[in-house]
Amino acid sequence: MKKIILTGDRPTGPLHVGHYAGSLKRRVELQNSGNFDEIYIMIADAQALTDNMENPEKVRQNIIEVALDYLACGLDPKKSVLFIQSQVPQLCEMSFYYMNLVTVARLKRNPTVKTEIQMRNFEERIPVGFFTYPISQAADITAFKATTVPVGEDQAPMIEQTREIVHRFNHVYGETLVEPNILLPDNSACLRLPGTDGKAKMSKSLGNCIYLSDTEDEIKKKVMSMYTDPTHLRVEDPGHVEGNPVFTYLDAFSCDEDFEKYLPEYKNLDELKAHYTRGGLGDVKVKRFLNNVLQDVLRPIRERRIEFSKDIPSIYKMLEQGSKIAEQKAAQTLAEMKSAMKINYFEDKDLIENQAKKFSNSN
Ligand code: ATP
Ligand code: MG
pLDDT for 3-34, tens place per residue? 999 999 999 999 999 999 999 999 999 999 99
Phi, psi of 148, rounded to the nearest 5 degrees: -135, 130
DSSP 47-67: HHHTS-TT-HHHHHHHHHHHH
In terms of C-beta distances under 8 Å and separation of at least 24 residues, what long-range contacts does 320-325 make, across chains too? 320/87, 321/77, 322/77, 322/81, 322/82, 322/83, 322/84, 323/83, 323/84, 323/87, 323/88, 325/81, 325/83
Say whether pLDDT at 123 is over 80. Answer: no
Ligand 2 centroid from CA 271, angstroms:
34
Q: In whole angstroms, what is the distance from residue 143 CA to residue 350 CA?
A: 27
The residue ranges of DSSP E strands in 208-270, in sequence order, are none
| pLDDT single digits (tens) 242-277 | 999 999 999 999 999 999 999 999 999 999 999 999
Ligand 2 centroid from CA 80, angstroms:
22
Say whether pLDDT at 73 is over 80. Answer: yes
Ligand having the closest approach to the CA of 22: 1
Q: In whole angstroms, what is the distance from residue 256 CA to residue 271 CA?
A: 11
Considering the chain, tell me which residue range(s) the CATH 3.40.50.620 domain(s) occupy. 4-192+312-352
Ligand 1 pocket check: which of 19, 28, 151, 209 to mutate, most ligand atoms within 8 Å of Cβ? 19
Q: Nearest-CA neighbor of 298 among 217, 221, 211?
A: 211
pLDDT on residue 113: 86
9 DSSP β-pair partners = 43
pLDDT band at 220 (very low <50, low <70, confident <90, very high): very high
pLDDT on residue 124: 76
pLDDT on residue 354: 94
Which atom of ligand 1 sits closest to the CA of residue 201?
27
pLDDT on residue 205: 76
The answer, yes or no, to whether any atom of ligand 1 lies below 6 A from the CB of 202, is yes
Mean pLDDT across 282-310: 98
Q: Are 144 and 330 in contact (CB under 8 A)?
A: yes
Ligand 2 centroid from CA 239, angstroms:
31
Return the exposure string of 245-280: e unless at least 16 CB atoms fall within 10 Å of the residue's CB, then b. bbbbbbbbbbeeebbeebbeebeebeebbebbbeee
Say whether pLDDT at 363 is over 80. Answer: no
The crossing angle, in degrees rounded to 10, of helices 90-98 and 133-143 is 120
Q: In whole angstroms, what is the distance from residue 357 CA to residue 351 CA?
A: 10
Mean pLDDT across 39-44: 98
In the chain, the N- to C-terminal Cα span, in Å, equals: 50
Say whether pLDDT at 105 is over 90. Answer: yes
Architecture (CATH level 2) of domain 4-192+312-352: 3-Layer(aba) Sandwich (3.40)
The answer, yes or no, to whether any atom of ligand 1 lies below 6 A from the CB of 26, is no
Mean pLDDT across 55-76: 98
pLDDT on residue 275: 97
Return the exposure string of 21-39: e unless at least 16 CB atoms fall within 10 Å of the residue's CB, then b. bbbbbbbbebbeeeebebb
Q: Whose CA is nearest to atom 8 of ligand 1?
A: 204
* pTM higher than 0.85: yes
Give the three-class secondary structure for 241: coil
pLDDT on residue 312: 98
pLDDT on residue 231: 92
Ligand 1 pocket check: which of 10, 196, 211 to mutate, most ligand atoms within 8 Å of Cβ? 10
pLDDT on residue 27: 96
The answer, yes or no, to whether any atom of ligand 1 lies below 6 A from the CB of 205, is yes
Q: In whole angstroms, what is the distance from residue 311 CA to residue 270 CA?
A: 44
Ligand 2 centroid from CA 263, angstroms:
35
The answer, yes or no, to whether any atom of ligand 1 lies below 6 A from the CB of 193, is yes
CB atoms within 10 A of CB 359: 9
| pLDDT single digits (tens) 125-179 | 889 999 999 999 999 999 999 999 999 899 999 999 999 999 999 999 999 999 9
pLDDT on residue 210: 97
CA geometry: angle 223, 225, 229, nearest 5 deg: 95
CATH class assigned to 216-308: mainly alpha
pLDDT on residue 57: 98
Establish how many alpha carbons lie within 13 A of residue 157's alpha carbon, considering only the half-sphere containing its beta carbon: 14
Q: In whole angstroms, what is the distance from residue 352 CA to residue 269 CA?
A: 71
Indicate the average pLDDT of the chain.
Answer: 95
Q: Whose CA is nearest to atom 23 of ligand 1?
A: 19
The answer, yes or no, to whether any atom of ligand 1 lies below 6 A from the CB of 18, is yes
Which atom of ligand 1 sits closest to the CA of residue 190?
29
Ligand 1 pocket check: which of 15, 203, 210 to mutate, most ligand atoms within 8 Å of Cβ? 203
pLDDT on residue 183: 95
pLDDT on residue 263: 96
Please tell me the total number of residues recorded for the chain in this structure: 363
Ligand 1 pocket check: which of 6, 9, 62, 182 to mutate, most ligand atoms within 8 Å of Cβ? 9
Considering the chain, tell me which residue range(s) the CATH 1.10.240.10 domain(s) occupy. 216-308
